[in-house]
Amino acid sequence: AMAESFMKYKDKNQAVEVRVQDLLSRMTLQEKIGQMTQIDRSVASFEVMKNYSIGSTLSGGESVPFRGATARDWINIINEFQEGALASRLGIPMFYGIDAIHGNAIVYNATVFPHNIGLGAARDAELIRKIGAATALEVRATGISYAFAPCIAVCRDPRWGRCYESYSEDPQIVQEMTDIIYGLQGENPIKGIPYVGGRDKVIACAKHYVGDGGTTNGIDESNTVIDAAGLFKIHMPAYLDAINKGVSTIMVSFSSLNGKKMHANRDLITGYLKNTLQFKGIVISDWEGLDRMTTPNNANFTNSVLAGIRAGLDMVMLPYNYTEFMDILTNLVKNDYVPMERIDDAVRRILRVKFIMGLFENPMADFSLINELGSQAHRNLAREAVRKSLVLLKNGKEGDSPLLPLPKRTSKILVAGTHAHNLGYQCGGWTISWQGFLDNNENRGTTILNAVRSAVHPSTEVVYKEEPDKEFVNSNNFTYAIIVAGEPSYAEWHGDSQTLTMTEPGPAIISNVCKSIKCVVVVISGRPIVIEPYMDSIDALVAAWLPGTEGQGVTDMLFGDYEFTGKLPRTWFRTVDQLPMNVGDLHYDPLFPFGYGLTTNNIRLS
């Protein structure tokens, strides 16, 4: 008992800062650097965690233990790593991170919510808090306690492959959507101080600091050229909200700001974030963020480590070369290139979050939350989010009566298009795996076709033909057609596009069908895409973004069970050569402006 009480850091009745200081004072340099190290699960093990006192492990976008791993599988694997951490000399528990950016979507059978662009169209802070809370439960259901979310990028050019991870081109909408942090972490009792409220809440991560959404021509990981006024008006505001709401970690961007790599930007990381804004949580690098400081990657790792740590990085998402990192940083400290107080600042922040979240008291995951994964309650919430995310852009040609809401009871209807029956496409990237998945048996969910089948009256015949030609359309007397088209799934630079065209043969399908019968086109995309050439032949047009597993949210709107409320969170361009073009620009000639949205009787929502 004496030994226990003497070790203040183990006493949960001690103040957090007392526990932090007590534990820090006991740590060797190697243990401190171990805490600053985050490794991918593929290189983690009981032994590695024990021997190196590793601070954190993660799943990168590709890193699932095996296809179809269940919540129990995840828990058993992660608990093994935790046992290793607890077996280290000081027994400092680790936390495990994953990209739960639209639900815990890399995990099989998780509820997949609409991607951020759809939530930006919904503009509903209460809804997004609930989504955060549901996501926290589905993350904890798998034994994970850290979500690399929310991305608070302000995407200023839809040619960026990560534009769907951004709530809006308007910084104010992004600021409002930081309320998801209250759902993920719980509401912080003291404004501006990091907080994680217990075992059904997770550490959140505001990312990617700063200006990730402003790169030239939307090229991923490249350079954002902007003056201080523009930076603080567009890309910085949501970080102040996130810090105020208690976000516990901030991830630094791969991109550069006016030619300087953000991972080496001491003025903005230490000077502004830590000293001016008094951020008290963890600044974490992005994946191989140090390696990617140089061209080619890892060209001068020692220098990258020196630049990153001196800039103010507290934890490094290596994720593989941890011994190289630890050796280099140890030598940099021993040779006075990196002062010990920089190391202590980093470790203090890491320990602070671990004590605040109760990790020392509850390091092991249990099976109590496994039924939260993909629960019906969460799927209902996701379906509501889909409904609120849809934006009605056209309903009836000039002089025609509105086409929507569609009648559920009629003789025969056509469902067509590349995206009508493809769960992978409707979930988008960061689902099951990094780039998303392609067909319908990789996860549990409802495609739009299946949603139509369950929405219509039993007497209505639903005919599905992915790519109907004119003869097919004219040889059936369909009352109307639902065409679902858009983009393939993508993530990061794989989604960078200079053309933003609809996946073939979407345009041909629209032409074959809409020139013969009444058609509503539902666009599944991570951003606005080229649509103007088809506008004249389309009767009704709905932007559905990347709705996720609950496709019934789309049919709820098409058949009029609910009224449209969604509004464009970003400008819908006419042609790509107008880009970048954002609300407020001097030259602003969009097909549909920022904020545009109709109700079914063609009343404008804003």
Ligand X SMILES: O=[N+]([O-])c1ccc(O[C@@H]2O[C@@H](CO)[C@H](O)[C@H](S[C@@H]3O[C@H](CO)[C@@H](O)[C@H](O)[C@H]3O)[C@@H]2O)cc1
Least spacing, CB of residue 7 vs ligand X, in Å: 34
The residue sitting closest to ligand X, measured at its beta carbon, is 61
With contacts defined by CB under 6 A, name the span among 55-63, 82-90, 345-353, 369-377 that binds ligand X. 55-63
- Amino acid identity of residue 553, one-letter, is G
Q: Which CB atom, from 99 or from 442, has the smaller least distance to ligand X?
A: 99
Q: How far apart are CA 444 and CA 495, in angstroms?
A: 24
With contacts defined by CB under 6 A, name the span among 30-38, 54-62, 438-446, 456-464 that binds ligand X. 54-62
Least spacing, CB of residue 220 vs ligand X, in Å: 9
Least spacing, CB of residue 221 vs ligand X, in Å: 8
Tokens 């789309």 found at: 554
Assess 60 for contact with ligand X (CB under 6 A).
yes
The b-or-e profile of 273-294 (16+ CB within 10 A means b, else e) is: bbeebebbbbbbbbbbbbbbbe
Q: Which residues, 270 to 329, sit near ligand X by CB under 6 A?
A: 286-287
Q: How far apart are CA 311 and CA 271, in angstroms?
A: 9
Q: Which residues, 74 to 103, sit near ligand X by CB under 6 A?
A: 99
Q: Where are the alpha helices (DSSP H) in 10-141?
A: 16-26, 29-35, 46-52, 71-86, 116-122, 125-140
The closest alpha carbon to 423, from 484, 468, 370, belongs to 484
For ligand X, how many residues bind (rule: CB under 6 A)? 10
Given a contact cutoff of 8 angstroms between Cβ atoms, the answer to whether 110 and 128 are in contact is: no
User: In the annotation, is 17 catalytic?
Assistant: no
Q: Which CB atom, from 99 or from 314, has the smaller least distance to ligand X?
A: 99
Choose, from 40, 124, 176, 286, the residue flagged as catalytic. 286
Say how many residues make up the chain.
Answer: 606
With contacts defined by CB under 6 A, name the span among 60-68, 268-276, 451-459, 564-572 that binds ligand X. 60-68
Q: Which CB atom, from 199 or from 263, has the smaller least distance to ligand X?
A: 263
Contacts (Cβ under 8 Å, ≥6 apart) of 317: 38, 58, 251, 284, 285, 286, 287, 288, 289
Q: Which CB atom, from 152 or from 390, has the smaller least distance to ligand X?
A: 152
**One residue of 55, 61, 132, 374 binding ligand X per CB under 6 A:** 61
Choose, from 170, 212, 492, 496, the residue flagged as catalytic. 492
Least spacing, CB of residue 253 vs ligand X, in Å: 8
Q: Which CB atom, from 20 or from 317, has the smaller least distance to ligand X?
A: 317
Give me 554's structure tokens: 């789309």
Burial class from Cβ neighbours inside 10 Å (0-12, 13-18, 19+) for residue 467 reads middle
Q: Which CB atom, from 60 or from 551, has the smaller least distance to ligand X?
A: 60
**One residue of 9, 74, 81, 148 binding ligand X per CB under 6 A:** 148
- The CA-atom distances, in angstroms, between 596 and each of 148, 392, 583 are 31, 9, 11
Least spacing, CB of residue 149 vs ligand X, in Å: 8
Q: Which CB atom, from 427 or from 484, has the smaller least distance to ligand X?
A: 427
Q: Which CB atom, from 61 or from 405, has the smaller least distance to ligand X?
A: 61
Q: If you compute the radius of gyration of the chain from its CA atoms, what whole number of angstroms results?
A: 25
The closest alpha carbon to 502, from 480, 477, 527, belongs to 527
The backbone torsions φ and ψ at residue 345, rounded to the nearest 5 degrees and listed phi first, read -60, -45
The backbone torsions φ and ψ at residue 274, rounded to the nearest 5 degrees and listed phi first, read -85, -45
Q: Which CB atom, from 120 or from 436, has the smaller least distance to ligand X?
A: 436
Least spacing, CB of residue 60 vs ligand X, in Å: 3
With contacts defined by CB under 6 A, name the span among 57-65, 167-175, 262-270, 389-397 that binds ligand X. 57-65
Neighbours of 449 (CB within 10 A): 22
Assess 496 for contact with ligand X (CB under 6 A).
no
Residues in contact with ligand X, shown as a per-residue x/- string from 392 to 431 under the rule CB under 6 A = ----------------------------------------
Assess 434 for contact with ligand X (CB under 6 A).
yes
Least spacing, CB of residue 100 vs ligand X, in Å: 10
Assess 62 for contact with ligand X (CB under 6 A).
yes
Bridge partners, 317 (sequence order): 38
Least spacing, CB of residue 298 vs ligand X, in Å: 12
Least spacing, CB of residue 316 vs ligand X, in Å: 12
Q: Which CB atom, from 99 or from 179, has the smaller least distance to ligand X?
A: 99
User: In the annotation, is 286 catalytic?
Assistant: yes
Assess 539 for contact with ligand X (CB under 6 A).
no
* The three-state (H, E, C) secondary structure of 467-524, written as one string: CCCHHHHHCCCCCCEEEEEECCCCCHHHHCCCCCCCCCCHHHHHHHHHCCCCEEEEEE
How far is CA 295 from its chain centroid?
27
Work out the angle between the directed axes of helices 301-311 and 340-356 (0-180°, nearest 10).
60
**One residue of 170, 176, 492, 496 binding ligand X per CB under 6 A:** 492
Give me 517's structure tokens: 């019968």
Residues in contact with ligand X, shown as a per-residue x/- string from 188 to 227 under the rule CB under 6 A = -------------------x--------------------
Tokens 């089948």 found at: 453
Least spacing, CB of residue 131 vs ligand X, in Å: 18
* Contact residues for ligand X, defined by CB under 6 A: 60-62, 99, 148, 207, 286-287, 434, 492
Active site residues: 286, 492
